[in-house]
A and B are shown apart, each in its own frame.
Chain A
Amino acid sequence: MPNQNGSVYGLTILSPIINDERATPSHDLQIRNYLATVPTGEGSPFALAPGTHLARLVVMDDVIYVGSPSIEEHLHSKYLVFESNCDGDLDSYLLGLATAVPQHLDAIWSHCVGYPGAANPQAFAAYMKACQIETTFYFAAVNDKSVPETLRALQTQRAVSDFIARHQGMNAALLQAEFAQFATRLKSEPLPASGSMGPLRGLKTGGRNE
């Protein structure tokens, strides 16, 4: 079934961007401008709202003609593309977004045709579903676990790796006692915040290197 892969929902939304010649800067540029400043990591709206594995927002101006033998074609409108791999039921995911981060959603989607605003979560969800198209491809790194399960797994992986580093070579009896304590402590640790377990990369990326 499209849109659903195991427990993961694949959401793809194409929202037409308002085409108003009098708007300066144009609505598409205003979206680009806002997207350029949206925080990533723990401050990301998709970390503040529940249920997102990976989300992506792209302004699609047009299809680009790359020369013969392709055929020159154009879109009727500029579109905002929203792709998300998220947990479970679509309605509760959309309502969760509208409840948690309405100011971000409004700043982005208010430049789109027919957007009702996020103040009324039901209207927001209905609008998004009206713009939805089928998803058939998913982000390969998302497995069949929920976001909380994934966060817990990452936390466990990191903690166990640290435990091994601190305890390797210890005699078996002492190690077992230490491990029992560690396991109890780990179970009672709070779930790490969404967006907090990403890679710590000091490298500048981009260009033709990735």
Chain B
Amino acid sequence: MSKLNETDIQGFVLRGYNLPFARYLFLHFEDSARARALVGRLLPVITTGQRWDHGKPQSTANIAFTHRGLAAFDLPEATLLSFPVEFLQGMKDRAAILGDTGINAPEHWDKLWLDNHVHAWLGINGQSPEAVDARCSQIQALMQETGGAMQLAWQDAAAIMDDGKPTSREHFGYTDGFGNPDYLGVERSTQPGQGKLMPDGTWAPLATGELLLGYADEAGELPVAPVPHILACNGTFMVYRKLHQNLATFRAYLEERSAQYGGGMEKLAAKFIGRWRDGTPVELSPDWPDPAIVQDPNRNTNFTYGADPQGTRCPIGAHVRRVHPRDAFGFNGRLIDRRRITRRGLPYGRPVPEGEPASDAEDRGIVFMALNASLSRQFEFVQQQWIEYGNDAHQGNDKDMLIGNHRGHGKFVVQGDLSATNPPFLCTHLPNFVELRGGDYFFLPSITALGMIAMGLVDPR
């Protein structure tokens, strides 16, 4: 496998920019010719995967389209109909499959998503709010000059700051963003634990086709993709989910339950996720957080669950063990290699330091974005089987402790041993700590494909 053509792939796909500020614009196209003209003008603005030899830029810009958005360009019917069915339907119509029901059902989403007007996502990341503003103004000027798109709404997001320095913590206090997979051909500083587990215990990059269309996937097949091939190649599918966090509920629940738990509050918080709040993997350090492990790229994602089948170190239903089971299902981890996703995203809303009063009602949460070659095989499977159900993890009907749609009836088992500080413990009556407030499925095309869309050259024949 040779190196990928990084200048043809949007940078957002190949790397997490690690820029602390972001604004996501949601656009609506009214006229196909003007919309294509806008994409043409945006082409030189879009950030590619080219390496940053001269340091990080002040800001980046990337673009992706819903199926309705692609239809608004008047792409040929034969192309539009060739997209995978879940992308054609969009995330709202997949609610019953995803478990987005009850309080997470589309009727409770932000108004933006209710009338199916979102055609494009335009993601801007920046080193400062000013850099984001500047890039945003530049793009809005192009929108105005071409009349190509109407801005329906925007979502600001930002890393939570510690003494003015960006952190990778989210609102519940957990350090996030470990363990995105490695892929063949993607140049990135890799670390053990981020690809797929090999029979000899080492880690290797996943097949490129698990992330990008047009390349062989883990089954040696090309992922399902639209025609023509050149429209699909070097593109990927993106899930956008605005996840509201009920901070007051989370803190109250943790405090109340940990009062009865022999391991104390921080240990219970760590058992929920499988990482201590500083990011230390519970599997590697079950009794206390260890900053030395967090700092060590050879250790912070480098672990398996094979020696902990009872979950006495990391509970079997802990969040990270559910969504990235590694070797937990046996067969050297091979059962999960086609269920991996690449995550992007940042928190939104005002952070509230521990000890200060917080309310669930405040607009606060995380913008979760996932990239994968197959929405149904990768993201939807993880969401349905590993988050909203527990059978694969031998946890019956139990859902993911943190992001499951519990409706007050959830249960989470903390496996334990005979020691006083690691007792078995049941968490019952789980509320929804996280609620879905909207989102959709997007197609994130290559630079070539964007050019073809702009020039009206998409031809499925």
A residues apposed to B, CB below 8 Å: 161, 164-165, 168-169, 199-205, 207-210
* Interface pair B260/A209, CB less than 8 Å apart: no
Instruction: Knowing A161-B426, A199-B397, A201-B389 are in contact, say whether A208-B377 is a contact too (CB < 8 A).
Output: yes
Residue of A nearest to B224 (CB): A208
Partner of A203, one of B97, B260, B428: B97
* Interface pair A199/B396, CB less than 8 Å apart: yes
Q: Which 5 A-B pairs have the closest CB atoms?
A: A204-B96, A165-B428, A169-B260, A165-B426, A208-B376
Q: Which of B18-26, B116-124, B150-158, B379-387 contacts the other chain?
A: B379-387
Nearest CB of chain A from residue B384's CB, rounded to whole Å: 5
* Interface pair A201/B397, CB less than 8 Å apart: yes
Other than the given A168-B426, A199-B396, A203-B388, 6 more pairs (CB < 8 A) read: A200-B397, A202-B99, A203-B389, A204-B97, A208-B377, A209-B376
Nearest CB of chain B from residue A106's CB, rounded to whole Å: 35
Nearest CB of chain A from residue B275's CB, rounded to whole Å: 24
- Interface code B423-439, partner A: CB below 8 Å = 1, 0 otherwise? 00110100000000000
Instruction: Knowing A169-B260, A203-B96, A207-B97 are in contact, say whether A164-B426 is a contact too (CB < 8 A).
Output: yes
Question: Measured between alpha carbons, how far is A161 from B101 in the docked complex, in Å?
Answer: 26
Which residues of B (42-89) have their CB < 8 Å from a CB of A? Answer: 85-86
Question: Measured between alpha carbons, how far is A203 from B386 in the docked complex, in Å?
Answer: 12
Partner of B411, one of A165, A168, A209: A165
* Most chain B CB neighbours (cut-off 10 Å) among A164, A200, A204, A210: A204
Nearest CB of chain B from residue A182's CB, rounded to whole Å: 15
Residue of B nearest to A158 (CB): B396
Interface residue total, chain B, C-beta cutoff 8 A: 22
* Interface pair A207/B260, CB less than 8 Å apart: no
* Interface pair A209/B425, CB less than 8 Å apart: no
Nearest CB of chain A from residue B52's CB, rounded to whole Å: 38
* Interface pair A209/B385, CB less than 8 Å apart: yes
Q: Which residues of B contact A209 (CB under 8 A)?
A: 97, 376, 380-381, 384-385
Q: Which residues of A contact B384 (CB under 8 A)?
A: 203, 205, 209
Question: Measured between alpha carbons, how far is A29 from B385 in the docked complex, in Å?
Answer: 33
Question: Measured between alpha carbons, how far is A146 from B85 in the docked complex, in Å?
Answer: 43
* Interface pair B376/A168, CB less than 8 Å apart: no
Nearest CB of chain B from residue A38's CB, rounded to whole Å: 22
* Interface pair A168/B425, CB less than 8 Å apart: yes
Q: Which residues of A contact B97 (CB under 8 A)?
A: 203-205, 207, 209
Which residues of B (362-415) have their CB < 8 Å from a CB of A? Answer: 376-377, 380-381, 384-385, 388-389, 391, 396-397, 411
Q: Which residues of B contact A202 (CB under 8 A)?
A: 99, 101
Nearest CB of chain B from residue A167's CB, rounded to whole Å: 10
Question: Measured between alpha carbons, how far is A195 from B411 in the docked complex, in Å?
Answer: 23
| Sample (11) of A-B pairs whose CB atoms are under 8 Å apart | A161-B426, A165-B428, A168-B260, A168-B426, A199-B397, A203-B96, A204-B96, A205-B384, A207-B86, A208-B376, A209-B384
Residue of A nearest to B380 (CB): A209
Q: Which residues of B contact A203 (CB under 8 A)?
A: 96-97, 99, 384, 388-389
Residue of A nearest to B85 (CB): A207
Which residues of B (326-384) have their CB < 8 Å from a CB of A? Answer: 376-377, 380-381, 384
Q: Which residues of A contact B101 (CB under 8 A)?
A: 202
Question: Measured between alpha carbons, how far is A201 from B380 in the docked complex, in Å?
Answer: 16
Q: Which residues of B contact A164 (CB under 8 A)?
A: 426
Nearest CB of chain B from residue A210's CB, rounded to whole Å: 7
Q: Which residues of B contact A168 (CB under 8 A)?
A: 260, 425-426
Q: Which residues of B contact A169 (CB under 8 A)?
A: 260
Nearest CB of chain B from residue A41's CB, rounded to whole Å: 15
Nearest CB of chain A from residue B338's CB, rounded to whole Å: 11
Q: Which residues of A contact B397 (CB under 8 A)?
A: 199-201
Nearest CB of chain A from residue B372's CB, rounded to whole Å: 13
Residue of B nearest to A206 (CB): B97
Question: Measured between alpha carbons, how far is A161 from B411 in the docked complex, in Å?
Answer: 10
Nearest CB of chain A from residue B208's CB, rounded to whole Å: 21
Nearest CB of chain A from residue B388's CB, rounded to whole Å: 6
Nearest CB of chain B from residue A203's CB, rounded to whole Å: 5
Question: Measured between alpha carbons, how far is A46 from B333 in the docked complex, in Å?
Answer: 37
Q: Which residues of A contact B85 (CB under 8 A)?
A: 207
Q: Which residues of A contact B411 (CB under 8 A)?
A: 161, 165
Nearest CB of chain A from residue B361's CB, rounded to whole Å: 26
Nearest CB of chain A from residue B239's CB, rounded to whole Å: 14
Question: Measured between alpha carbons, how far is A209 from B384 in the docked complex, in Å?
Answer: 8
Residue of A nearest to B102 (CB): A202
* Interface pair A207/B376, CB less than 8 Å apart: yes
- Interface code B100-134, partner A: CB below 8 Å = 1, 0 otherwise? 01000000000000000000000000000000000
Nearest CB of chain A from residue B253's CB, rounded to whole Å: 14
Residue of B nearest to A141 (CB): B391
Question: Measured between alpha carbons, how far is A210 from B411 in the docked complex, in Å?
Answer: 24
Residue of A nearest to B99 (CB): A203
Q: Which residues of A contact B426 (CB under 8 A)?
A: 161, 164-165, 168
Question: Measured between alpha carbons, how far is A186 from B345 in the docked complex, in Å?
Answer: 49
Residue of A nearest to B97 (CB): A204
